Amino acid sequence: MEPAIDIDRNGLDSRDHRRRAVIGSSVGTVIEWYDFTLYGLASALVFAPLFFGDSGVAGMLGSFATFAVGFAARPLGGLVFAHFGDRVGRKTTLLVTLLIMGVATTIIGLLPTAEAIGLWAPVLLVVLRLFQGAGAGAEFAGAMTMASESSGTRGRAFTAGFPGAAVYVGMAIATGAFAALRGAMSEEEFLAFGWRIPFVASVVIVLFALYFRLRVKETAAFEAAESAGTVARAPLAEAVRRHWRVLVPGMALFVFALPWVYIVQTFAINYTTQTLTVDPTHALIGLIAAEVLTIPVTLGAGLIADRIGRKPVLVFAAVFGILFAYPMFLLFLTESSLLVGVGLVLGLAVVQGATIGVSAAMLAEVFTTSTRWTGIAICREIPAALVGGTAPFVATWLVQAGGGTPWLVAAYLVVLSVIGLVGIAFLPETLRREAGEPAPAEV
């Protein structure tokens, strides 16, 4: 059995190295979620008429289907790159995933529409979405791994919260850019060229992130595993064989957490502005507020989890999801911009703020160095493909099945939150455990 790596003793020696590791992991996460948020917003607001030639339900289903395609590629990309991340190293692999994400997003902004090239427009969109999904599937799991391995035991949930908070920095930048352009242009101008600007601008953020990634050293935990000869030859097989007791409830946790993001981030914007009568600019402003507020909530949840434990914070998030699903849609149905904003803030900031960083620390403390990236990728990316990326598509279909009402969507969120609560119950409490230390059931 691989010895547990004591990251407090073998971790980076200086604060400067730790700071670089956290910044380097976080800036890549900014670009990942900037890219994914842009695609989600464009799916909700512009892709249906431009790439599918239909602004109605059929066009929206086609648009949301391409959104889901990216998530279908996430497990494959996540596991392939996680293999190399656990075999070759964290730094090099994260450089590759960053470039794949950024290049794919930039090219999307340059694609001709269906009016210009017909069927090739949605085909090329799907191909680029697959590349985007493959890179994203590994990026965040790798960022969580690097940040967690660069932290001491006492503050790991707080440190691991920085890549989680960076998710919402990327989201807020993307949503802010979309809202500013949408508000400054007529609808015709926005559809003609305005939506392309933030996609092409992705190249600037990629160069910024690349600068910081190149300054990061390999994590000391991975170097220690290399020196000890404990790097796994087949990380996926080892993760399944040694940690299946964690993988199953870990996936259940993300079956709950991930759909909430895409229901609020993508579906709710379309539902409140297209089915209901909320002004699109007001809805985007509410979403920006939700994303910005999620940043301090994520870091605050990490501080709390470092004091009272990981599980109580995660349980709170799942219970809140169960209780808030129906009230959130009641707030949306008021069609008041203010109350819709409140629903967006609570639906995103509370659920995600309490789960994203805390779950990263817990999973880092469960998996050994040789399987850490792979284990985190399995827990996140399989649910991302099954219920994360498909959430806007399923929600749109449920609204149609419900005669235009959102109550089946609320019920769907409740069921997923219950699944998450059950999964959390079966996860071990890892407060003050050294990263990679075996759980009692594994000893």
CATH number at 365 reads: 1.20.1250.20
Query: Taking residues 340-357, what's their average pLDDT?
Result: 93
Asked if the model's pLDDT at residue 427 lies above 80, the reply is: yes
Is the residue at 1 inside a domain? no
Domain of 340? 7-442
Centroid of chain to Cα 328: 21
Q: pLDDT at position 438, please?
A: 42
Question: How far apart, in whole angstroms, are the C-alpha atoms of residue 346 and residue 339?
Answer: 11
Tell me the pLDDT tens digit for each residue of 267-311: 998 899 988 999 988 998 998 899 899 999 999 999 999 999 999
Residue 59 is assigned to a structural domain of this protein:
yes
How many folded domains does the chain comprise? Answer: 1
Most confident of 142-146, 263-267, 293-297: 293-297
Q: Judge whether 272 lies within some domain.
A: yes
| pLDDT of residue 4 exceeding 50 | no
Q: Which residue has the higher pLDDT, 30 or 311?
A: 311
Asked if the structure places residue 74 within a domain, the reply is yes
Domain assignment present for 13: yes
2 belongs to a structural domain:
no
Q: Is residue 72 part of a domain?
A: yes
Which of the residue ranges 5-19, 198-212, 315-329 would you say has the lowest mean pLDDT? 5-19
Q: What are the pLDDT digits (tens) for 156-201?
A: 888 888 888 888 888 888 888 888 888 888 888 888 888 899 999 8
Residue 68 pLDDT exceeds 50: yes
Global confidence as pTM: 0.81
The pLDDT value recorded for residue 55 is 60
Confidence of residue 56 (pLDDT cuts 50, 70, 90): low
